[in-house]
Structure 1
Amino acid sequence: MYEYVAFMPLWKAHVAYLSIIVWIMLNWFYFRPKQIRKQQQQLDDIIDRLQHICDQKNRS
């Protein structure tokens, strides 16, 4: 990235780096927690199903 920005005018370089920083922050603070919640819900569902199966086995 640095090689491309080195030949840009200063204001374009600032825009390029600012857009990258904004993109990283968007991923870190919005998409990442959303994905973590989704995966956590899937794991909770799997655990619930396994517990249900274990309960059925213990009753028999």
Structure 2
Amino acid sequence: MVEAVGPGVTTLAPGNEVFGLPRHPPPAGTYAEYVTSPARHLVRKPEALTHVQAAALPPAARSHPE
């Protein structure tokens, strides 16, 4: 869940449930309770998905580098 956003972030807001691969690769320490991430590395979790389902998407969805 988003706790806060930085200046200029318009795609996310505090309270949004999100998922993604922050700073991938290398690992970003996302097993921590809190993590910072560029907003473009996260998307809002659809309400129809559980957190477990959303967690499975980033590795499958990111099939090629930017």
Structure in which a larger fraction of residues adopt strand: 2
Structure in which a larger fraction of residues adopt helix: 1
- Using the size of structure 1 for normalisation, the TM-score is 0.23
- Using the size of structure 2 for normalisation, the TM-score is 0.21
**Of the two, which has the highest radius of gyration?**
1
- Larger relative CO (CA 8 A, sep 6+): 1 or 2? 2
